[in-house]
Structure 1
């Protein structure tokens, strides 16, 4: 078996991860010259330059990035297998997850996860965009793009949007539409798109990556366009639009996981209106080569069970 100088591999991983020779030296408790020697030895063995150096700036070459992907995964595998043989029960995992999904759905459930699986040490890497599926980023992911053939995916949620407002604002809507004399309950007459447009529409840019894209889709589902008289207020993120709705500023479009756990979910009223499917599906993703890792499978089963129990997906729903 022909292997590279093994001592240089964790050095290379540390330098690439920290983007610094000096920081890597501090982390590994060696001198900076020792770090430089190990990197030079590895580059000589491979016959490839792994870093570009320009003054104090340090960047990976294309060959360096390609090598890091494989080395990071291999080192993690060695660490995991070694821990299993040593009898270490604790499983440390980094989960990259969308900020809204983390804040509104996952974080409130973490105490249950800790009680059920105390051996699982989970750290969250919050992302405002779809994460890059790589061991350098995290060990597992919640993603809407099952794009890498090297990963396996488990469906958690098929997204739909529906209009909500605060309890107080709902009473205002009922008064202005002359519904305050009607008995409020399950048989509430549906609001028409024209009636909805009489009130401020709180729009989230990030859902469709365009201004008013969420409300355009909602009206399009009713074969209509947003009326020219509609008052739109724009927000970059659904969390912001939902907060504006909670403080009685209008009607927002939100989804199931945003209202499924938090105690303040009772502050909102789901309007009697049609929903719209965004086309996004949320998956738990893990590298297929790591499918036998106990921690990943514990987390996968727990997430799927919580999604089913919370109504995000059905038990027999396919990916």
Structure 2
């Protein structure tokens, strides 16, 4: 059955004027002129064949017909608003992103406000864990992993170079590798069984410093704790430069010398042979854009 109804714009204008009891205030709310509100209401009254308002000097008052129409319009707008909200909820997507704890704390979390602004329709669940989750079983939709980029059953896309080098508080005033001999070394535990761990022993070998006691110092279970220890001046940590860029720009940390160990990078991974859902692809694209904007490292 074809419905013969006034225009939605006219009804919306009427509802605002009736609710606020003022053509002027309705105009301000609708971002139009008071004259435009008056013309729309007048046209609506002519179409319905009855007055809807009693015009007074500084306000308007609903007639009995206007009160009847207001109740119907409000009910209709409420139904439409509820329907739109249900559609918005259906349109929302949830993406679970698995990342390493230090990567989450030092790189991802400071940028998440920008993600929510860019993609308000995506609910991003960040899963920070030191152990790789089973993406093939659906434990997460997408992951950031560190290593060489070779993960059986998974497609990987290079995200950024990690770049591990000695990092210390600027208060320690390190100038050359020999300065390490008079400071504590800060270690953190790599994932158990990971073959590509970049340790102080690896760095000392690359630096040609066999005299460095790479087993001494303080050890933390998580890389982010090692970073905080370095900021506090507790010693020198072998840390991914990608994760301490903010602290270095603020003058809290420095990486005064190399070598920089570059055989470790961060990769975006997802199950091979499966086309990522649009929301998952959007998260991946946002992560890549953030890494590119930060200009961290170069592809090896």
| Counterpart in the other structure of 1:148 | 152
Q: In structure 1, what is the Cα distance between the partners aligned to 2:168 and 2:287?
A: 28
Q: In structure 1, what is the Cα distance between the partners aligned to 2:210 and 2:124?
A: 45
Indicate yes or no: 2:206 matched with 1:221. yes
Q: In structure 2, what is the Cα distance between the partners aligned to 1:138 and 1:229?
A: 37
| Counterpart in the other structure of 1:139 | 141
**Matched-pair contact (CA < 8 Å) for 1:200–1:249:** yes
Normalising by structure 2, we get a TM-score of 0.61
SS at match of 1:221: helix
| Counterpart in the other structure of 1:26 | none
Matches within 5 A, 1:1-319: 88-144=90-146, 146-149=150-153, 151-170=154-173, 173=174, 191=176, 193-206=177-190, 214-228=199-213, 231-261=216-246, 266-277=250-261, 279-314=263-298, 317=299
Q: In structure 2, what is the Cα distance between the partners aligned to 1:115 and 1:86?
A: 16
**Matched-pair contact (CA < 8 Å) for 2:161–2:242:** no
Tell me which structure has the larger Cα radius of gyration. 2
Deviation of the 1:261 alpha carbon: 4.3
1:125-148 deviations in Å (ceiling 9; x for gaps): 111123333243111111235323
**Matched-pair contact (CA < 8 Å) for 1:166–1:247:** yes
Sort the Cα spacing of 1:215 and 1:157 in 2 relative to 1 into closer, same or farther, 3 A: same
Q: In structure 2, what is the Cα distance between the partners aligned to 1:297 and 1:207?
A: 27
Q: In structure 2, what is the Cα distance between the partners aligned to 1:280 and 1:132?
A: 21
Aligned length: 210
Normalising by structure 1, we get a TM-score of 0.58
Q: In structure 2, what is the Cα distance between the partners aligned to 1:266 and 1:207?
A: 30
Q: In structure 1, what is the Cα distance between the partners aligned to 2:276 and 2:138?
A: 19
Deviation of the 1:235 alpha carbon: 2.0
Deviation of the 1:302 alpha carbon: 0.8
**Matched-pair contact (CA < 8 Å) for 2:156–2:270:** yes
Sort the Cα spacing of 1:230 and 1:91 in 2 relative to 1 into closer, same or farther, 3 A: closer
Q: In structure 2, what is the Cα distance between the partners aligned to 1:261 and 1:125?
A: 23
Sort the Cα spacing of 1:91 and 1:276 in 2 relative to 1 into closer, same or farther, 3 A: same
Measured on the aligned residues, the alpha-carbon RMSD in Å equals: 3.0
Deviation of the 1:113 alpha carbon: 0.6
Sort the Cα spacing of 1:226 and 1:241 in 2 relative to 1 into closer, same or farther, 3 A: farther
Structure 1: 5+ residue stretches without partners: 1-84, 174-189
Q: In structure 1, what is the Cα distance between the partners aligned to 2:255 and 2:141?
A: 39
SS at match of 2:182: coil
